């Protein structure tokens, strides 16, 4: 099934792997982006003419291709195909027969009703890796319930644990359930790929937004299982460590993470109060947590005497984990972020470049060819069909029947 890779991507580890992406919005496309960044040929199946629903997620002033869609669909190819028709299903099955992976994030039961479930496609291609991302999993009383990031963050306890203790809970500022589900799906695909290399057999792998959100609650779950109590909201503070949170300095905010005795002694020294180490309120980790409010007030009284950069430099010299609280733009523009490849150039298809987030994975044996822009709906329809063996008369017939569209 592996296709012959082109020279630009040949050194990437998944070069030649063919992925059919029947997924939209964020979780499934995140999985596809990670596989694409590692060299896989990701073919995105989209409805015509609107395509992936995320293409509509625009703010006033956005270009025709929304930045949010472009961010997680770069490097993919788009095939506009009506899989509701028998002819469209036949096209998809012919693609699957030559593919390595299929990803989908429909509600449980949709692919079964279409006749495109794993049980339908596995006989066509026993080596197929079929990856499903659902809302609540494929089993249990809520299996057929649709899943959305916001709802699963609330359901899993993430929102209840986030925010200040005396205010209403808040949603974390990023799509944790969606993004983590995409990462876990990519991990599942790669695990199944290793299994296939050993046995020749594919399999059905799956994850869900519920599992992806719950996986982020390790310490919340540990506290509940050990005490029977839920962890209260603490703002940026930590339930088991102090000082370990955001603090105000003269010109902004910084975080200090004194997670061990050495770091705590360093905090005392840097702030000019070595006597704090022997203070009975602070001389043991549990005491510092118990007297957190008093400790924070003392620390902030000293931090008010200088700026964030100066304090961070002092803490760094003393071996105390600390850093500035930055906005996303500051982090993206920081030379360290760029040095590790988290800001990349993406070919916009018109002779220019756009910036995007890079892959969080670095491989010593791989290469990083120039990334391509997210596709227009159906941009690669005929190109893909030719590569998979359709003749020109067959392609023309599909276009005339409006089973396939060329964008």
Residues annotated catalytic, as ranges: 178
Chain-centre distance of CA 183, in angstroms? 5
> Residue 31 is inside which H or E element, if any?
helix 27-37
Cβ-based neighbours of 235, under 8 Å, separated by 6 or more: 163, 164, 165, 245, 246
Contact between residue 30 and residue 189 where contact means Cβ atoms under 8 Å apart:
no
Which among 77, 69, 88 has a CA at the least distance from the CA of 44? 77
> Residue 100 is inside which H or E element, if any?
none
Task: Number of helices (H) and strands (E) in the chain: give both, helices first.
Answer: 17, 13
Which residue spans within 243-392 are E strands per DSSP?
244-248, 253-257, 322-324, 343-347, 353-357, 371-372
DSSP class of 235: T
Which among 385, 386, 388, 376 has a CA at the least distance from the CA of 404? 385
Which among 188, 201, 200 has a CA at the least distance from the CA of 35? 188
Residues shown for the chain: 407
Q: What CA–CA distances, in Å, run from 263 to 242, 243, 269, 293, 333? A: 11, 10, 10, 19, 29
């Amino acid at each position: 099934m592996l296709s012959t890779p082109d020279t630009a991507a040949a050194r990437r580890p998944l070069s030649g792997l063919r992925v059919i992406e029947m997924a939209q919005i964020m979780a499934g496309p995140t999985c596809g982006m990670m596989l694409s960044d590692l060299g896989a040929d990701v073919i995105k199946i989209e409805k015509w003419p609107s395509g992936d629903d995320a293409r509509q997620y625009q703010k006033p002033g956005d270009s025709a291709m929304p930045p949010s869609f472009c961010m997680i669909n770069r490097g993919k190819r788009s095939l506009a195909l009506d899989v509701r028709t028998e002819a469209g299903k036949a096209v998809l099955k012919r693609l699957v027969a030559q593919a390595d992976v299929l990803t989908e994030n429909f509600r449980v039961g949709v692919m079964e009703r279409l006749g495109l479930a794993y049980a339908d496609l596995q006989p066509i291609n026993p080596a197929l890796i079929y990856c499903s991302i659902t809302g609540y999993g494929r089993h249990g009383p809520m299996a057929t319930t649709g899943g959305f990031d916001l709802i699963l963050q609330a359901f899993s306890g993430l929102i209840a644990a986030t925010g200040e203790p005396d205010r209403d809970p808040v949603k974390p500022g990023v799509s944790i359930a969606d993004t983590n589900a995409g990462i876990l799906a990519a991990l599942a695909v790669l695990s199944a790929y290793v299994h296939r290399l050993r046995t020749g057999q594919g399999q059905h792998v799956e994850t869900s937004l519920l599992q992806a959100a719950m996986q982020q609650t390790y310490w919340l779950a540990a506290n509940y299982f050990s005490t029977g109590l839920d962890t209260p909201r603490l703002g940026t503070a930590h339930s088991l460590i102090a000082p370990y949170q955001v603090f105000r300095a003269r010109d902004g905010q910084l975080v200090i993470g004194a997670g061990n005795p050495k770091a705590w002694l360093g905090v005392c020294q840097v702030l000019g109060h070595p006597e704090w180490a022997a203070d009975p309120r602070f001389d043991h980790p549990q005491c510092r947590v118990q007297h957190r409010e008093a400790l924070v007030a003392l620390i902030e009284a000293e931090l008010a005497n200088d700026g964030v950069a100066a304090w961070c430099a002092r803490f760094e010299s003393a071996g105390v984990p600390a850093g500035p609280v930055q906005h996303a733009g500051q982090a993206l523009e920081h030379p360290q972020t760029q040095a590790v490849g988290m800001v990349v150039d993406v070919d916009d298809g018109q002779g220019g470049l756009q910036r995007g987030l890079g892959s969080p994975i670095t491989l010593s044996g791989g290469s990083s060819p120039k990334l391509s822009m997210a596709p227009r709906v159906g941009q690669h329809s005929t190109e893909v069909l030719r590569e998979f063996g359709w003749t020109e008369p067959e392609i023309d017939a599909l276009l005339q029947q409006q089973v396939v569209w060329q964008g």
